[in-house]
Structure 1
Amino acid sequence: MSTLDEVRSWFDERLGQLLRKYDVPGAAWAVLSGGRVVDGAAGLLSRATGVEATADSVFQIGSVTKLWTATLVMQLVDEGVVGLDDPVRAHLPEFRIADEDAAAQITVRQLLTHTAGFEGDIFTDTGTGDDCLEKFVAVLHGVPQLFAPGEQFSYSNAGYCVLGRLVEVLRGRPYDACLREHVLSPLGLTHAATGAAEAIMFRAAVGHVEPEPGAAVVPAPVWAMARSNAPAGSMLAMRPRDLVAFARMHLDDGRAADGTAVLAPGTAARMHAGEVALPDLGLMGTSWGLGFERFDTPTGVLVGHDGNTIGQAAFLRVVPAAGVAVALLTNGGDAVSLYRDAVGHVLAALADVDLPALPAPPRQPRRIDAERFLGTYSAEVFDLTVSQDPDGRIWLDQVPKGAFVEMGGRAERTELVAYRDDMLIPLQADRGMHMPHAFVGDDGTGHALYLHVGRAVRRAGA
């Protein structure tokens, strides 16, 4: 087992090399072990300005924000204001989706665990005012229900926006104010920004994207997504040390470093426990808790979350049994490969926990009849069409729609091969990853009803 000082030395020696290897402009990191924190950074915050990254630089944490939103909700549960199995409408009567019966049934727990079942990738921009979340919830009235509430897992940004609005209504204040008053301030965090106007007060990272496939990354055209998605992860930025302070509170049974109670005793552990199993995709956890993603590995249990915004990627991993937490924040390039090398080293060195191996296509893929999988699966932000050519090769055509087009999404064609029962996998890696595609259910004609890639994408017309 290594020491924190040895981990710091490893980062000082290796991080710059890894940034160059994976074309990551800049990264900052922090590690907690034994109640002590070390941190650091390397590279650039922007290739346009040449400003260097420091340990105090703020990066967007993307969907890691969902852990903060879940914490705000669980504070209300601790106070007896909300019950996990309360229908959302008991507290938010204006909540509407296309399926009226589902809207009346969906519970707070189902939103927290991504099992509510309505279309989850809704990124409608409803302005920058404090009423943006109220307006966002109002536009959900036409959003389709993909499956019955509680039936399965399907990652949902929109569900966490509804939770953010729930917090606003019950606290009587905008989401950002609730976040600052009930989590940021009690933790004593000094380098955290709920939007661009606050981020600019610090050394702030800029996201970087590929102008075309295979090209070196360049600064993204915009800094953040719409404020209406703030509870899901569109705005919050911070330095890694502050993210690790949040993780430490969760390790210390809901108490800040100075003893301030942020959560009731036992609530943090309750949030980390598995609530719903996930399809075995290999790039996500094995189960999901009340906000937290959970990874049951042969060498130990990890909890945490990842985040991706426009050209920025964040990773938080916590080993409750060892009291270890590590945060890695990046601003472009092959961030997943950097995460595997850097965070993987820390977890092995300090907690004797190994990251599970990434899924990969078989060396000699077998040819299969893909009839059950063929067809188009449609979501709010893309269409996915699976086809098989006369030679037996299987293809996936992804066509972006709506918000994904506005964020620079491009049409992509990928060859898939047989992986496991009812699963296909890309033959070529994308940013260091081969994302398995699971085909779930039956549309009544022998074809899969959903293509599951962490999100359940329903067959068009079914």
Structure 2
Amino acid sequence: MRRALVALGLAPWLCLACPGCSSCADEPSAAMGAANARDGDGDGDGGGRSGDGGEDEARTSAGSDASERKRDCLDALMARDDLEGRFVAMLRALCGESINREIPGVAVAVVERGGEGEPPRMVMHFERGVSCFGEDAPVDASTRFRLGSISKVLTAALVLGFVDEREGFALETRVGASGLIPGLVLPPGIRDPSVEALLGQRAGLGPIEPEQVVADDGDWRRALTAAPQREGEHSYVNANYVVLGAMLEGLAGSDYGQLVRARLAGPLGLSTLGADAEVAVAEGAACGHLEEDPDRHPILVSEDLDFMPGDPSWLRPTGGVLADAEDLGRFALAIGGPELPGSAAMLEPGAPVLERSGEPRRYDERYGLGLRAWTLPSGRLVYGHSGDNGSFRAELLFVPGQRAVVILANRGGELAVTRAAALELLDEP
């Protein structure tokens, strides 16, 4: 949740959203110190600390416990008769990273399509840990996780489905001119953005202004800001997909959760895919756990968006969808196919995403219509998106129509080594 607050510029409201979190009680330096001690990466002299060695002993004990848990995780992997060798590197990386970062629970799935016309099937899954820290319910293959910004991929698919079927609604449609969002106020200097510019994160919008949202009792429509980048330049912000979600609801006369069920989950047979957090909690969804909270207080997904006045449902199109790992992988392999009309446009890689220096990013990263794309060293094109709201982490990586890898964790923060191993897996024939 904290990263979601930061992304929206809402860090001052963190302690209102999570008053029990230790990072609210401590100064930032104290919170960082706790995190460093938890990682056990000291060099033995405590960096100038004085004392009787009790802290060093605690770190040594914690490190020993982590090593034992890693061995247990790896032993469990090696004991599996059904585990193909090509998956071992990724799962070994996940064992190490998830234990080092004290993630309560993780789930991984690899979904593949066997041949033309064949439905996708899950060829490997792995789960470890518990759904909510301090409770007994284990993560299993059907456990739902918050997907964070991967929700944007679903929103893009919904938008392009309407572009495909609805006369008068096109990529060129302008938000203001459409009249689909009554009361919307565009920031000064911003030309009425098109659907295509919003999908591609090139509309010139900046972060949503939190003070204005609070002043308007949770109404975001007058809180849009302008980005420092010019219109047409890539500027990744949640605001673009908040606007798209509101356009969808105005166009369809249904709320976002109903659209996900009726147009994505239902037709594709994805029973865990949805945006209704109350339903997800009732059916055993994982809790979130803030990356910055060393005590790992569990946060229900029915509460993790409730950090401002009013109805938080406007955040669902940009970060509020939930699913299990298999269903997210199956959804990814439907992109570009007849099951998702209009979604082929999502597989057009788009323009390169540049570093602040103006240089292209590694792997020739591009952002198209709701998806990132990377060209791997072999020349293979891989698509995907990440999600991280501070209390969950999600990774979706796939080769269209062939193979998808999904990594879900119920604590925020990167899983860089696991992700790199997943990219290597996708680079295989």
Match of 2:387 among 301, 304, 307: 307
Cα distance in 2, alignment partners of residues 14 and 94 from structure 1: 49
Q: 2: distance between equivalents of 1:161 and 1:284?
A: 29
The alpha-carbon distance between structure 1 residues 33 and 221, as it changes in their structure 2 partners (threshold 3 A), is: closer
* Structure 2 counterpart of 1:30: 109
SS of structure 2 residue aligned to 1:102: coil
**Partner in structure 1 of residue 117 of structure 2:** none
| Cα distance change, pair 139–204 in 1 and its aligned pair in 2 (3 A) | closer
Who is 2:316 aligned against? 230
Q: In proportion to residue count, which structure has more strand?
A: 1
CA contact (8 A) 2:112 2:403 kept: yes
Do structure 1's residue 291 and structure 2's residue 376 form an aligned pair?
no
* Structure-2 residue corresponding to 1:87: 174
Aligned to 1:97: 185
Query: How far is the alpha carbon of 1:228 from its aligned partner?
Result: 2.0
- Aligned pairs for 1:201-216 within 5 A: 201-210=282-291, 215=294
TM-score, length basis structure 1: 0.63
Partner SS state of residue 42, structure 1 = strand
Q: Equivalent residue for 2:417?
A: 341
Q: What are structure 1's unaligned runs of at least 5 residues?
A: 128-133, 256-260, 354-462
CA distance in 1, matches of 2:377, 2:89: 25
Match of 1:48 in 2: 134
Q: CA deviation at 1:16?
A: 4.1
Match for 2:197 among 110, 119, 134?
A: 110
Question: What secondary structure is seen at the aligned counterpart in 2 of 1:208?
Answer: coil
For residues 144-293 of structure 1, the aligned pairs below 5 Å read: 144-147=225-228, 150-210=231-291, 215=294, 217-220=296-299, 223-225=303-305, 226-233=312-319, 235-250=320-335, 253-255=336-338, 261-264=339-342, 267-268=343-344, 270-280=345-355, 282=361, 286-293=365-372
- TM score, norm. by length of structure 2: 0.67
Q: Which runs of 5+ in 2 are unaligned?
A: 1-81, 115-120, 306-311
SS in 2 for 1:294: strand
The 8 Å contact of residues 206 and 228 in structure 2, kept in 1 or not, is answered as: no
Task: Indicate yes or no: 2:428 matched with 1:352.
Answer: yes
Task: Give the alignment's Cα RMSD to 1 decimal.
Answer: 3.2
How many residues are aligned here?
326
Task: Give aligned-pair identity as a percent.
Answer: 26
| Residue-by-residue CA offset, 1:110-131 (whole Å, 9 max, x unaligned) | 110111112234568989xxxx
Whether the 8 Å contact between 1:158 and 1:229 is mirrored in structure 2 is no
Partner SS state of residue 397, structure 2: strand
Distance 2:254 2:420 in 1: 40
Higher helix proportion, which one?
2
Distance, in Å, in 1 between the alignment partners of 2:212 and 2:257 is 17
> What do residues 245-299 of structure 1 show as CA deviations (whole Å, max 9, x unaligned)?
111101xx323xxxxx3214xx42x212232332226589722101111223323
Alpha carbons 2:200, 2:367 under 8 Å: kept: yes
